[in-house]
A and B are shown apart, each in its own frame.
Chain A
Amino acid sequence: MSSETYFAALFAEHGEVAFEELVQACGLSAEEIVELVEHGVFAPISASPARLPTSTWRFSATTIAIGRRASRLKADFDLNVSGLALALTYLERIEALEEELNRLRCGLLR
């Protein structure tokens, strides 16, 4: 058993990743990521990404978590990109509702 301790790094809220890094970290193909951007699931930080080559696209580091979820859903449910986009949108909505519920429980909206 190794006694070495490894350090976990937070995905910095303001951190950024390049297109290539995102492809590598989530296990989706470059084409799938482009399609998910077209569906509005991912939004590159650059102002008008459609007119720029993908190699210049940059994303918020938190996009990695969404991308990895996308890759799991795609593999486990055999989804195409449109189905994937729909599932991700609903999951995001559910999470937003859960957060709101949590805030209500905190007494925030009382």
Chain B
Amino acid sequence: MKYKDYYATLGVERSASEEDIKKAYRKLARKYHPDVSKEKDAEEKFKEVGEAYEVLKDVEKRAAYDQMGSYQPGQDFRPPPDWGDRFGGEAGSQGFQDLGDIDLFDLLAGLNRGRTRGARGDAEFRMPGQDFEARVQVRLDDVINGVEIEIPIATTEMGQDGAVRRVTRPVKVRIPKGATDGQRLRVPGKGGQGMGGGRTGDLYLDIRLEPHELYKVDGHDLYLEVPAAPWEAALGANVEIPTPTGKVSLKIPPGSRAGQKLRVRGRGLPRPHGGESGDLYAVLQLVTPSVLSEAEKELYGKLAQASSFNPRGHFG
């Protein structure tokens, strides 16, 4: 069994009071809670913090944990020989012959589980399965065509020997065409198993789109910056632009301005259930050549002389 240093995870001394542990947890929860945090790896960190708190806030679990001794995080260890007799539970009766792949947290969680079940009796014990949540990042192409992804789901399972182990089961999920950034999906019945006839949990997915180098996404609409030369904006032009489903010809009308948005209908992301696709907006950007040839300079000069346009007229 691998050791986890729950005290170090919460950043408290082994002698910390219940109050100190609570305070440390609250501070870290505020920092890493996936619903409020922008920290990298917030989800993973919060899981570790939550697990440490779950054990240390419980007087009995903490005592059982303390009695295991202190090791380096990740170090393989075996609880002292009399540990099982004193802290019993499901695990105690197994005599620690086969603890190699048991998770420390599951072992400690089993202490309470064993007692609860004994007291209430299996027949009355009915509990719905846990719902799982996962954040998945998909590419723009994926939501255009729909995609099959494999999500590793960490769950606990009871082995044939009756011991509860943590396992990672990959679940294959088809993300339907029409999903977009920030949307939630539900996979019914793919959460944890219920107990005593309780319903099976569901799997919830939170979809995030990977940023794309060309397109920005707003719902099902896409935005594409289209650079244009001053004369293309002034005189109008037909230019070729990319869209996720292939190139199209965009008509820049004469007298266009920088920042103007030109709509290309139906070239955004598909909507679910065969609804009309979102639109693509070409956002015009005026760019000027940084190096001018003699001929270009001369023509700009002529334009300057011929034009009465005053771009700063509103300054008065």
Closest to B33 in A: A76
Query: Please, what's the 1-or-0 string for B172-200, where 1 marks a CB less than 8 Å from any CB in chain A?
Result: 11111011000111111010000000010
Chain B neighbourhood of A91, CB < 8 A: 35-36
Chain A neighbourhood of B186, CB < 8 A: 8-9, 11, 64
The answer to whether B283 and A11 touch across the interface, beta carbons within 8 angstroms, is no
How many residue pairs link A and B with beta carbons under 8 A? The number is 101
Q: How far is the CA of A74 from the CA of B171 in the complex (A)?
A: 28
How many residues of B are in contact with the other chain, CB < 8 A? 44
Within A16-35, the residues touching B (CB, 8 Å) are 24-25, 27
Q: How far is the CA of A38 from the CA of B38 in the complex (A)?
A: 30
Closest to A106 in B: B223
Known contacts A77-B29, A108-B223: does B187 contact A8 (CB below 8 Å)? yes
For this complex, into which size category does the number of interface residues on chain A fall? 20 to 34
Asked if B205 is at the interface of the complex by the 8 Å CB criterion, the answer is yes
Asked if A47 is at the interface of the complex by the 8 Å CB criterion, the answer is no
The answer to whether A2 and B172 touch across the interface, beta carbons within 8 angstroms, is yes
Q: How far is the CA of A92 from the CA of B216 in the complex (A)?
A: 22
Distance (Å) between the CB of A107 and the closest chain B CB?
A: 4
Chain B neighbourhood of A73, CB < 8 A: 33, 35
Asked if B69 is at the interface of the complex by the 8 Å CB criterion, the answer is no
Q: How far is the CA of A105 from the CA of B281 in the complex (A)?
A: 13
Give 7 new A-B contacts, CB below 8 A, not counting A5-B174, A10-B272, A106-B218: A6-B174, A11-B183, A64-B184, A65-B204, A68-B204, A77-B30, A107-B223
